[in-house]
A and B are shown apart, each in its own frame.
Chain A
Amino acid sequence: MKRAVLLLATLLAGAAHAAPIAITNATVMTGAGATLDHATIVVDGGRIRSVGSGAAPPGATIIDAGGKTVTPGLVVGMSDLGIDEIGGVREANDTEARKSPFSASLDVVPALNGRDGGIAVARAGGVTRAVVGPSASRDIFAGQGALIALRDGPDVLVRGRAFQFVELGENGAEAAGGSRTASFALFRNALDEAQRFAARKGRGGGGDDGAHENIYQRADTVALVAVVNGTQPLVVHVERASDILSVLALKADFPKLHLILFGAREGWTVADRIAAAHVPVITSAIDDLPDAFETLASTKSNVGRLVAAGVLVGIGTSGGESTNQPRNVTQFVGNLVAQGRMPGGVGVTRDQALSLITRNPAEIFGMTDTGTIAPGQRADLVMWDGDPFELTSAPVAVMIDGVSQPITSRQTQLRDRYLRLQHDTLPLAYRP
């Protein structure tokens, strides 16, 4: 088994340009709802050419998975990967711009750091793609997020300006002036300004209107044009059921809005309404405390009930340390499987659990060639040493776009350095 892994790591370097690779004898969880035993995955040119019981093509490099489970690379539906090396160190944290005059126009792309230590740690946990969102501070709009691939090296950007992020729950109320009346008024006004700007520009007026009193900076208004005309998704953080309904109601006045709900901890209480509106949800899976007045109905059954109602759900990370580590999304969804085994609890199946952290978030953010093991899909693959959701399991190989990736980090180096504490002839600092 170990040899197969080494072989995989060795042979796949630069595989995107090499001969096809056939991973044989794999237990393939496709991310699209199926598990295939003794399957072969053929990778060619960074894409999956085939998956199934077929034989390896002639000339392919063969990797025997030895029955190990292979899943799509994990896709985390919200994170601060690449913009938050250390949360508590101002200089190493670009998640929010508390003193900036700008809001909606803020863009995480120039802040992205492919060498952020969190990326290597997440990749070692099987995360291959992530949604990166800024955090709001002085305004309801946090700015524009990006999609990244957790490949080794500085170049992680897949797509910038992938969405706008807005706070319309308790955080938004605070930022807007102390009440939800203010946050919704501010939001509507911002979109009105963007609409007027776009209309004037459409009439050849250049978009500027010196006479009217804009609240938002010109750059913010420009950024919001894509939101109001629906070409850029709008991720809306709300938790309370009434807030969710208020957000869904915005479609009446702004019909082109491409809404994605973030949080939605009380979503299960209005799951049918969310499903009927065809609005997807990114949430954090296992929160079950009434830790805010907007989350009184929290339960680990939220995701299961949303899924059962037909809502497209993906898992993202947020909140405190116990729920915000991207590498732990397998644990989170494993807990949702466990929830389904509790009397009265509603959970998900193992296949559904995998979709929550692969296909679904990819689909929600328009990465339609990512997140499943199927012909034509990007060859983002993870081979596990056990059940991918189990606490004792870990990836033994990670591939992004057909290229093998390192699964080491500062943490593995610290581990190796301190495995033995005995002083040798030199201090520990001389160890690798």
Chain B
Amino acid sequence: MRRLIPLALLAVAACATTPPVKTASGKPSTPAEIVSIPADPFPSTYRAYPGVTTVIRGATVYDGAGHKFAPGMVRLENGKVAEIGENVAVPAGATVIDAGGKFVTPGIIDIHSHLGDYPSPQVQAVSDGNEATRPNTADVWAEHSIWPQDAGFTRALAGGVTTFHILPGSANLFGGRGVTVKNVLGRTAQDMKFPGAKPSLKMACGENPKRVYGSKGQSPATRMGNIAVDRQVWSDAVVYKRKWDDYTKKAKAGTAKPTDAPRRELANDTLMGVLNGDILVQNHCYRADEMANVIAMSKEFGYHVSAFHHAVESYKIADLLKAENICSAMWADWWGFKLESYDGIRENIAFVHNAGACAIVHSDDANGIQRLNQEAAKAMAAGRRAGIVVPPEVVWTWLSLNPAKGLGIDKATGSLEPGKMADVVLWNGDPLSVYSRPERVWIDGALMYDAADPERRPKTDFELGQPGAGDVK
């Protein structure tokens, strides 16, 4: 695995590694004697593309962590943010971009996307986002559905999105594993995988699971059914974990043979990963009361919800979400397309932020992902009208650092702090204005999009030869 991020982030699943261990007798046992679950059977093959040392000067800079430099400067070097401030060193030979009147921000991170799994075109042949056959499909991985030729990746890039999290759909209570990717087109999904990022478990509350399974005459058919099935699954996962922990302990002590190892159950592998803290829970949940039920359930079984997604009613329990340290991934103004979204208000994001809880703007949509900055601007304005003034440089945390936190990659990206990945957007104007668009986008310091240069605007294989291929979209 390439060292693109601090080592700390690369430390994964304790249960899932096989270091030589000392036995009780003090004699090292060989790894072969201990059966373990592979930590990373589909490893990232992402590599950063070459970049040049680049200094952007004269721009208004939002660092994504709540600070502003106006005018400010940023230097990108060796794929990292090297320096940021009112003045930075300009090494000889650096490419210098005079960006007066323009803005620099960290790349946008979308914590909720189905790009690749529900790609364009939306035809059954590539509709691979919901394994809606069982309420618990914790065994499926969204990355195995990703079609790398989804044109949506390129549109998201033109919207300044440098990292996003691809989730399974919400038909199931346990939808499967989500994957964090860098928005660099590859030949395979593994080429896009964000190195070292933890996978997620997608869970869903509410109307979708009960509708999908209730309509099949199957459980869950109600919200109480949702929670009941959830709890049984978690309870079984606890037993599974106990078996593996017990086996591993004995194996390490030299008292268990490889044939004593429990049979692997792929869904339980994922759930055990959650219980061990190696997999983050991303929980689709609209209603405040259901979020509270989920929080209680998570305590019963010993896991933590990283973020509630589509959290239309977070504003009703923003204090609870703050206390529980759970992020809310929200739309600016979607509402009313189902009953559980009926109480959506434009102030939701600002209210959550104002309560001191972690607020994230998310898309869940191949169109919306192109304009997340605009969604943040609408939320900012609604908050301001309600008396909650959040400055633009703080608003940007909703788009970069907070989603990075929700994905556990905030040590690596999400802000322009020195040493972090040089995931950077140069906007042709105020990014919270409807009139502005990304002019250039760097990912790991490599210029991956340039609005003025057709050779820096990717086209997927699917688009080649189609009408309008290569057009400015």
Residues of A within 8 A of B (CB): 85-89, 117-118, 121, 241, 266, 269, 286-293, 295-301, 319-323, 325, 327-328, 331, 334-335, 337-339, 341-345, 389-394, 410-411, 414-415, 418-419, 421
Contacts and interface: CB of A to CB of B under 8 A. Distances in A.
Contact of A297 (B343, B378, B467): B467
A3 to B, nearest CB: 17
Interface string B299-325: 000000000000000011111000000
A328 B371 CA distance: 13
A85 B437 contact: no
Given A341-B437, A391-B378, A117 B351 contact: no
Given A266-B467, A392-B380, A334 B351 contact: no
Contacts of B370: 288
Contact of B437 (A296, A338, A411): A338
**Pairs A-B, 10 closest by C-beta atoms:** A88-B338, A334-B434, A297-B468, A391-B377, A297-B467, A392-B381, A322-B368, A288-B473, A344-B472, A345-B472
B468 A391 contact: no
Interface in B316-356: 316-319, 331, 333-339, 342-347, 351, 355
A296 B120 CA distance: 9
A300 B452 CA distance: 16
A102 B363 CA distance: 38
Contact of B366 (A291, A341, A414): A291
A338 B373 CA distance: 14
A293 B125 CA distance: 12
B428 A341 contact: yes
Instruction: Identify the interface centre among A86, A293, A322, A327: most chain B CB within 10 Å of its CB.
Output: A322
B473 A335 contact: no
Nearest to A343: B452
Nearest to A269: B467
B461 interface: no
Task: Please report whether the interface of chain A is mostly helix, strand, loop or mixed according to DSSP.
Answer: loop
B27 interface: no
B368 to A, nearest CB: 4
Interface residues of B, number: 63
Interface string B93-126: 0000000000000000000000000001111000
A345 B468 CA distance: 12
A415 B381 contact: no
A331 to B, nearest CB: 6
Given A289-B120, A300-B473, A419-B386, 7 more contacts: A88-B339, A290-B121, A291-B121, A297-B467, A299-B472, A393-B381, A418-B345
A319 B363 CA distance: 15
A118 B336 contact: yes
B338 A86 contact: yes
A357 to B, nearest CB: 13
A341 B471 CA distance: 14
Contact of A290 (B339, B345, B363, B463): B463
A323 B365 CA distance: 10
Contacts of B155: 288-289
Contacts of A266: 467-468
Contacts of A85: 336
Contacts of B346: 411, 415
Contacts of B432: 391-392
A290 B462 contact: yes
B133 interface: no
Nearest to A124: B346
A291 B463 CA distance: 11
Nearest to A327: B333
Nearest to A290: B120
Contact of A86 (B337, B371, B377, B454): B337
B152 A289 contact: yes
